């Protein structure tokens, strides 16, 4: 199968490396200088240091050639959420495409499938998501993902494209739930990082993850997702990984906020996109419009906006009125 990955960041590179063990893969990068560096080093030293690119993996910055390569095969968009709309607009109307980005689109508050419905309605499209750090995928360590679309044939194509000895790919007909899980878990990982950075203990971490999962499921239900999706890879699985894993950028943001660093400094030091920072406000706005209560998410936004300190945000959450768990 011919596969083109559009975006040569860490996750796009990792998936291209993984897929190149079985298929003819083209990795497209928008920056000619970066692409030249990838060619010279046969590695993505900026985003994925220490991982050699397979000789069979083609790297290029000619967008039209990259898209033509995937004719009859599969396109994968590996940009941040902010780049999804523009990338979809450049694809053929009949494209078969998955995206990897996790979040709500800033400004519109739309999920990926909603953006695709506006921009490329005739395309066969879906989301590839789940608990996965790019570095481990590129190292061919065992990982499980979910290919989600209302198009069963596209899900099957996603499984055939990426399922391997080191990568299990499940299918789902609930892209709404998969996308909500992928978006909200990044915000909750910031919250858990704050709690860990304040040394609040393992009890607090477990409580945040559990109640955060309840927030995620409430928002998903209001948007039309299936409840069981949140007990799967893109819900509980991705939340646990991102909230507790040392490779999590969103968790690291929380740790640095707890240490007293300001957000601009954190983002400058991070050097990579932490989607939770950009999607937290949008998650809150969409939840409020739907009448969905998300107190942990609201607390994260308040800390990011510097309206409260991390310690005060935790105190306010603990002082909330006792409620029945359901």
Beta bridge mates, 169: 145
| Residue 323 falls in the annotated catalytic set | no
Distances in whole angstroms, Cα of residue 19 to Cα of each of 84, 177, 178: 21, 25, 22
User: Cβ(252)–Cβ(270) under 8 Å?
Assistant: yes
User: Cβ(191)–Cβ(212) under 8 Å?
Assistant: yes
Alpha-carbon distance of 287 to 290, in angstroms, equals 5
Q: What would the 3-class secondary structure string for 166-225 be?
A: CEEEEEECCHHHHHHHHHHHHHHHHHHHHHHHCCCCHHHHHHHHHHHHHHHHHHHHHHCC
Contacts of 206 (CB under 8 A, 6+ apart): none
Of 185, 226, 312, 323, which is the active-site residue? Answer: 185
Alpha-carbon distance of 147 to 234, in angstroms, equals 10
Q: Which residues are catalytic?
A: 185
């Amino acid at each position: 199968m011919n596969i083109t990955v559009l975006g040569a960041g860490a996750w796009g590179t990792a998936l291209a490396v993984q897929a190149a063990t079985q298929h003819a893969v083209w990795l497209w990068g928008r920056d000619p200088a970066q692409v030249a560096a990838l060619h010279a080093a046969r590695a993505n030293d900026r985003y994925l240091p220490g991982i050699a690119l397979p000789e069979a993996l083609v790297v290029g910055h000619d967008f039209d050639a990259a898209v033509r390569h995937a004719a009859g095969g599969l396109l994968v968009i590996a940009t941040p959420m902010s780049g999804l709309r523009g990338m979809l607009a450049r694809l053929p109307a009949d494209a078969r495409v998955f995206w990897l980005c996790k979040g709500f689109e800033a400004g519109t508050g739309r999920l990926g499938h909603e953006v695709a419905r506006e921009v490329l309605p005739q395309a066969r499209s879906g989301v590839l998501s789940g608990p996965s750090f790019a570095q481990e995928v590129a190292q061919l360590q065992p990982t499980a993902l979910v290919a989600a679309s209302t198009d069963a044939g596209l899900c099957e194509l996603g499984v055939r494209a990426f399922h391997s000895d080191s990568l299990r790919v499940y299918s789902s007909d609930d892209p709404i739930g998969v996308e909500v899980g992928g978006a909200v878990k990044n915000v909750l990982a910031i919250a858990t990082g704050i709690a860990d950075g304040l040394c609040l203990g393992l009890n607090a971490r477990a409580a945040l993850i559990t109640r955060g999962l309840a927030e995620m499921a409430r928002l998903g239900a209001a948007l039309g997702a299936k409840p069981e999706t949140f007990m799967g890879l893109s819900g509980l699985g991705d939340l646990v990984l991102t909230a507790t894993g040392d490779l999590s950028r969103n968790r690291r943001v929380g740790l640095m906020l707890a240490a007293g660093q300001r957000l601009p400094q954190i983002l400058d030091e991070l050097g990579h996109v932490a989607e939770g920072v950009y999607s937290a406000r949008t998650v809150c706005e969409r939840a409020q419009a739907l009448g969905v209560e998300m107190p942990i998410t609201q607390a994260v936004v308040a800390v990011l906006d510097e309206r409260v300190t991390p310690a005060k945000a935790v105190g306010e959450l603990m002082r909330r009125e006792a409620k029945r768990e359901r």
